[in-house]
Amino acid sequence: MSENMQDKLEEIKEKNQTKRKKEDKKYLVIMLIMFVVCGLAGFFTGVLFDKLKKAGFSLTDIPQDVINTLAYVMPIVFIAINIILAIITVACISKAKRELKAWDGEDEEIAEKIEGRVSIPLCLSSVVNVINMFMFSVCVNLDINSTFSENKEDMLLIANAVVFLLAMAIVIIVQKKTIDFTKDMNPEKEGSVFDAKFSKKWEESCDEAQKLQIYKAGSAGFKAMSSVCMTLWIVCFIADLFGNVGLLPVTMVFIIWLTGIIGYLVGAAKAEKEMNR
């Protein structure tokens, strides 16, 4: 390497180091200011909650008549959400099938449009699946805390269980129908929704562009999970100080947060090993 080239590299290196030092100082100051502001906000919030607690103010309980009403209403809302999902799925797949029949097999824009239409119920089913878990917990909690007779409580519990099973069946059928349609349109796709290793097989059958999209989506999901966990930790911590809810909520947030971080790091390490092979 010539002396002129070495001099240029050294000059670029010095400029980069100077730039990094300025950026580090700038962001360090910003971070310290944020720590101070958050610390002061936490301190005054804690003082306020302590005074309210000593004054006898506590989190309000839900009135019993509201609980009884919700115990009847929530199962209806529960199944209605899944029926809406089924209707959207039928509409999307029916239209996608008509568009597929009219497709000449060459226009990529039409193919992307069809795939985008079918992805709507698939994405919604993933969201609804999580909602189903939450709704079932809410329904059971309302049933337990209601003041109905024992026979009515048992009937409500059975009704909630039936609604939950129907809801899960709808989600599975929706996912199967959308996956089957995608496989008909793209024969190279592999995997069954009933297979425990479906995600792995499906990913392996994707092309490089699709895999890159999956990885970007996974990274975005990890960032969103970290932000939500931070917010939930703050909420649970304050709730424990003020409402004495115990350590269970903050412990559950800790488990989810830590699992997500470890899973991300392990996945990143595996991906790096595969790239270096």
pLDDT recorded at residue 46: 61
C-alpha 9/C-alpha 11 separation (Å) is 5
Q: Domain total for the chain?
A: 3
Question: Phi, psi (5° rounding) for residue 104?
Answer: -85, -5
Residue 200 lies in a domain: no
Final residue of a structural domain among 131, 160, 194: 194
Task: Examine residue 125 and state whether it is found in any structural domain, yes or no.
Answer: yes
130 and 92 share one domain: yes
Domain of 24 in residue numbering reads as 1-57
Q: Is residue 101 part of a domain?
A: yes
Q: Which of 6, 137, 179, 148 is nearest to 64 (CA)?
A: 148
Question: SS3 letters for 179-235?
Answer: HHHHHHHCCCCCCCCCCCCHHHHHHHCCCHHHHHHHHHHHHHHHHHHHHHHHHHHHH
- 78 and 6 in a single domain? The answer is no
Query: Nearest CA to 167 among 201, 129, 198?
Result: 129
Does residue 112 fall inside a structural domain? yes
By CB atoms closer than 10 A (0-12, 13-18, 19+), residue 224 is exposed
Q: How far apart are CA 149 and CA 133, in angstroms?
A: 26
* Overall residue count recorded for the chain in this entry: 277
pLDDT score, position 85: 94
The pLDDT of residue 26 is 78
Q: Does residue 201 lie in a domain region?
A: no
- pLDDT lower than 70: segments of the chain: 1-9, 13, 20, 24, 27, 38-39, 42-43, 45-62, 105, 276-277
Q: Convert the pLDDT of each residue in 67-87 to its tens digit.
A: 888 888 999 999 999 999 999
State the pLDDT at residue 162.
92
What is the per-residue pLDDT for 124?
A: 92
Same domain (yes/no): 173, 127: yes
| Closest listed residue to residue 73, CA positions, set 127, 134, 135 | 135
Single out the residue in 160, 194, 228 at which a domain terminates: 194
CA distance 63 to 142: 12
The per-residue pLDDT for 174 is 92
* Helices vs. strands in the chain: H and E counts, helices first: 7, 0
Does 159 reside within a domain?
Answer: yes
Q: Is the pTM of this model over 0.75?
A: no
Q: Mark whether 52 and 79 lie in a shared domain.
A: no
